[in-house]
Amino acid sequence: MLPSNSTTEPIGQNVIKLISNLCFSFFVFSVLIFTIIAITYQPPDPWLQSAPALTQLFTQPQNPTFHVDTSIFNTGEDITLPPQHAPTPSRAAVTPVTESQIQITEDKIGNSTPSLASDACASRTLNCSDPRVLVAVQRFNLRAFRSIVFFEYRMPVNGSVADECDVAWRFRNKKEKSWRKYRDFRRFKIGITDDCRYKVVHAGGWHSGSNVRPNRTRATGAGGRGKSLPRISSNSNRDDEINDTIPSLGSQVNFRNGKTFVMDLSMCLAATYNPSNKDEEGKDFRYYFDFEHLKEEASIVEEGEFLRDWKKWDKNNGKKRKVPVKKVVTHKVTPMQLKKDKSTIIWRQFDAPEPENYWYRVCEGQAAKYVQRPWHALWKSKRLMNIVTEISGRMDWDFDAVHVIRGEKAERKDLWPHLDSDTSPDALVEKLKGMVQPWRNLYIATNEPFYNYFDKLRSNFKVHLLDDYKELWGNTSEWYNETSLLNNGKPVEFDGYMRVAVDTEVFYRGKTRVETFYNLTQDCKDGVNTC
């Protein structure tokens, strides 16, 4: 028996060894492939991806302890909204003016009146009320301002001389995702062609059409709770589309159904944004964000009014029938844990130091599957956006922009060792000369406090800084008057947070945009070893 077994045993052992070696080789090969992929793979940049990728970027849970870039201020209108957050039908119903619509209008005019009146064509006189003048202006605007969507033209009126007409319209920048519209009115020099058609010879600048300027009317109590606030004189035009009024508790139909959001409109502004370098309480939410849009997204009750009504209820119903309330003192108590709570009022309090007091941390962890951060409901204030529009319009929507981050980051050589030198005036001149065409309008969005820091760029570009437009928030401006009304007649400071909001939006509207990180410096955005 032994001799026969000795001939087969080595074969079996060899087969087992062969299989073992093959399995081990496959394992080593798999590990090698995985290692190569892990080293070489770079995840897609969400900023270069589709709208869903951007939405995910702004809604996914984040670590709030990372270095915060306080020179950029993103809100919900900066991303494409998912379908459930699309504009309301009443807002979306306004149709933009297009070339095809202009052609239809022109055809209708041609069928009713084939050409200009013979005497007007022969004498080369201009009739601003002729509908063909508006057609000529509309066509000119579509060619001249390709980044703008136009709405609601008004009939042209006579300008200052015989060959001029003033025209007003509403518009929206194509890069703005909101339904909000803005107003422009310009003076056009109109000529008549040899075949008796109107043409635009020259277009005036931003808000040059003074004869069609909207009426300078003002209502008291623009943003209060039905109170009559001080009437403040204005040298500009009030934006009558802004509705900052605080809804009364009685008007909230959903309140008794438990769907009302109780909100404290008084905010604390971080020291980073204040000249005093101290935290400041008592800042109105409506200075910074669009309260009208928030009201459309959710049923809102102002905290003060809610507390007053709550006290009245408890007082009138006695101790036994007081409204049951549960106070939650930490974000770590998730919405799922509160699902079966029977209390009428669930009161979340965020009194701990940062980052534990960030209200949106309620939407982290397991809750992120069910409660998304409501960035879609937060838009920048329309009053701040009016300043953005004014600055962009004064540059005729034809400008490039550079974002220059300095401030504290330029001083922190341990985290950003090259930032200071890479954003020095000489370095900026050399780098921008290769990115921006000479003598273009160049808007510089920056947290650099010294106005003359960028003077060397003026030998190559038409430089614009936020402080070049101080009158837009000065004591004769519309912004000053409107925010004073919100503040019971007291002036409001144009603070650092507002500056960042305006800078960010003007920067986004530049045709060529140059960023500090990835364009001007190789330092990592969040500090050393975070690229």
Residue range 299-308, pLDDT digits in tens:
888 888 888 8
pLDDT of 446 higher than 90 = yes
What is the pLDDT averaged over residues 216-228? 43
- Rounded-to-5 percentages of helix, strand, coil across the chain: 40, 15, 45
pLDDT tier for residue 111 given thresholds of 50, 70 and 90? low
Token pair, residue 410, equals 């330029």
**Taking the CB of residue 336, how many other CB atoms lie within 10 A of it?**
12
Whole-number mean pLDDT of the chain? 81
Contacts 24+ apart (CB under 8 A), 195-199: 196/115, 196/116, 196/121, 197/116, 197/132, 197/136, 198/116, 198/126, 198/130, 198/132, 198/133, 198/135, 198/136, 199/136
pLDDT tier for residue 66 given thresholds of 50, 70 and 90? very low
Rounded distance between C-alpha atoms, residue 415 and residue 408, angstroms: 11
Rounded distance between C-alpha atoms, residue 204 and residue 394, angstroms: 11
More confident site: 196 or 386: 386
pLDDT tier for residue 359 given thresholds of 50, 70 and 90? confident
Instruction: Give residue limits of the domains in the chain.
Output: 23-52, 94-212, 249-377, 382-514
- Tell me, what's the pLDDT at 331? 83
pLDDT of 292 higher than 50 = yes
pLDDT of 85 higher than 70 = no
Three-state DSSP string of 464-490: EEHHHHHHHCCCCCHHHHHHHHHCCCC
pLDDT of 295 higher than 50 = yes
Rounded distance between C-alpha atoms, residue 466 and residue 368, angstroms: 38
More confident site: 427 or 296: 427
Classify 133 as helix, strand or coil: helix
pLDDT tier for residue 468 given thresholds of 50, 70 and 90? very high
Candidates 424, 497, 425; CA nearest to 457 is 425
What is the per-residue pLDDT across 339-352, written as a single tens digit (0 to 9) for each?
889 888 888 888 77
